[in-house]
């Protein structure tokens, strides 16, 4: 049981009609497909016991409306083992993920790539994007000035972290667009920390999509879309859940209490019916009471988030390096043979 949001709520990242905020298409599909038909949404499963791959395609406007997500393709890797430090598994994820990135990006020929590290580098759970950018192999300036240093097997990659509105006074979207107009990349890849619905997703799910970044997604609420419409070139987004919205925890706790009582007694059952009958407005008031004075700006995150962010950033940076540069992909494959 989940609270139903009225459509006019317009809370970003929330699945229309539910109190479930998630930036993962896969989670939205799980919540919705449990109780309704989802025309215009296709899911394909792949992978093995370590790494489950889901490829979700939202193919119609109706599908997009139901899912509360833009039309396009979303691939997720689910790797529950990632939460524990495991070098061999991390290496395996790199070898699987870089191929999914290549598949999504249709890399061929000599595309120039611009990578954007979204998020606030001063707030640990939002610092994923800047951390990935910091680890990335940057080649654009070398290829322009001294290509002989690199030799064959590399693409032109540049990258930067635009910061957040509160730090710069400038909308992230404005900044990226201005730079893209001068740098003229063929594609943009944006890296962002995401909000998930389920705690179990944190640091274990990797999502790549061809839809870009939509307003209100991510840990730090973007205001402008960063996508093909606004940038004029394909924009891909890679995201990892690092937080759950505190509203989600509050709502889920109420739901869980009702479900728990329902099982037990007639009174519990009656209560569950009451809760199900509640208007969202009422529930929202209850949640806001608990969370005030912060309302919608609270995040739930593990205490030991620093090592999690560190580890997953290295995995993403290595995956991007291998996806972009055939020479590095080859090295990854060779390394893979010894395990």
Of residues 96-125, those binding a copy of itself (CB under 8 A): 120, 122-124
Stretch of 14-22, 30-38, 154-162, 311-319 lying at the interface with a copy of itself (CB under 8 A):
154-162
Candidate list 19, 54, 73, 139; residue touching a copy of itself; CB under 8 A: 139
The answer to whether 223 and 165 have CB atoms below 8 angstroms apart is yes
Nearest to 305 by CA among 218, 221, 199, 224: 199
Sequence-ordered list of residues with C-beta below 8 angstroms from that of 252, at least 6 positions apart, any chain = none
Q: Which is nearer to a copy of itself, 42 or 171 (CB)?
A: 171
Written as six digits, the tokens of 319 are: 């995956």
152 touches a copy of itself (CB under 8 A): no
Distance of CA 220 to the CA centre of its chain: 12
Least distance between a copy of itself and beta carbon 64 (Å): 27
Least distance between a copy of itself and beta carbon 249 (Å): 5
Q: Give the number of residues in contact with a copy of itself, rule: CB under 8 A.
A: 86
Sequence-ordered list of residues with C-beta below 8 angstroms from that of 98, at least 6 positions apart, any chain = 318, 319, 320, 321, 322, 323, 329, 332
Pairing of strands 72-78, 205-209: antiparallel
16 touches a copy of itself (CB under 8 A): no
List the strands of the sheet with 112-117, edge to edge: 41-47, 52-58, 72-78, 205-209, 235-245, 187-196, 112-117, 156-160
Candidate list 300, 311, 314, 326; residue touching a copy of itself; CB under 8 A: 300
Residue 22 CA to residue 17 CA, distance in Å, equals: 13
x/- map, 230-259, a copy of itself, by CB under 8 A: ----------------x--xxxxxx-xx--
Give the helix ranges, DSSP H, for 61-127: 61-67, 87-105
330 touches a copy of itself (CB under 8 A): no
Stretch of 12-20, 31-39, 207-215, 263-271 lying at the interface with a copy of itself (CB under 8 A):
263-271
Residue for token pair 């000035």:
145
181 touches a copy of itself (CB under 8 A): yes
224 touches a copy of itself (CB under 8 A): no
1 touches a copy of itself (CB under 8 A): no
291 touches a copy of itself (CB under 8 A): yes
Least distance between a copy of itself and beta carbon 73 (Å): 28
């Amino acid at each position: 049981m989940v609270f139903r949001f009225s459509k006019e709520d317009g809370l970003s990242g929330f699945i229309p009609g539910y109190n479930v905020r998630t930036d993962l298409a896969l989670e939205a599909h799980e919540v919705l497909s449990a109780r309704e038909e989802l025309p215009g949404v296709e899911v394909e499963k792949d992978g093995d016991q370590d790494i489950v791959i889901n490829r979700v395609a939202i193919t119609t406007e109706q599908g997009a409306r139901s899912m509360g997500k833009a039309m396009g393709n979303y691939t997720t890797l689910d790797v529950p083992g990632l939460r524990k430090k495991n070098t061999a598994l991390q290496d395996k994820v790199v070898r699987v993920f870089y191929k999914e990135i290549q598949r999504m990006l249709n890399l061929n020929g000599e595309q120039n790539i611009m990578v954007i590290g979204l998020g606030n580098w001063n707030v640990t759970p939002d610092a994923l994007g800047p951390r990935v950018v910091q680890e990335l192999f940057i080649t654009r300036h070398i290829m322009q000035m001294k290509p002989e240093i690199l030799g064959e097997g590399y693409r032109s990659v540049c990258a930067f972290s635009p910061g957040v509105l509160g730090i710069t006074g400038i909308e992230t979207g404005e900044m990226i667009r201005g730079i893209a107009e001068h740098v003229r990349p063929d594609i943009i890849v944006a890296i962002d920390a995401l909000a998930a619905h389920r705690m179990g997703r944190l640091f274990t799910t990797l999502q790549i999509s061809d839809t870009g970044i939509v307003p209100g997604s991510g840990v730090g609420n973007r205001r402008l879309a960063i996508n093909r419409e606004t940038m004029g070139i394909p924009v891909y987004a890679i995201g990892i859940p690092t937080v759950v919205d505190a509203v989600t925890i509050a709502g889920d706790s109420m739901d869980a209490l009702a479900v728990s009582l329902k099982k037990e007694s007639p009174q519990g059952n009656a209560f569950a019916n009451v809760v199900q009958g509640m208007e969202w407005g009422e529930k929202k008031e209850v949640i806001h009471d608990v969370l005030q004075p912060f309302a919608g700006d609270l995040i739930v995150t593990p205490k030991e988030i620093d090592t999690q962010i560190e580890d997953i950033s290295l995995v993403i940076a290595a995956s991007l390096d291998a996806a972009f540069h055939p020479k590095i992909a080859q090295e990854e494959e060779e390394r893979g043979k010894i395990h």
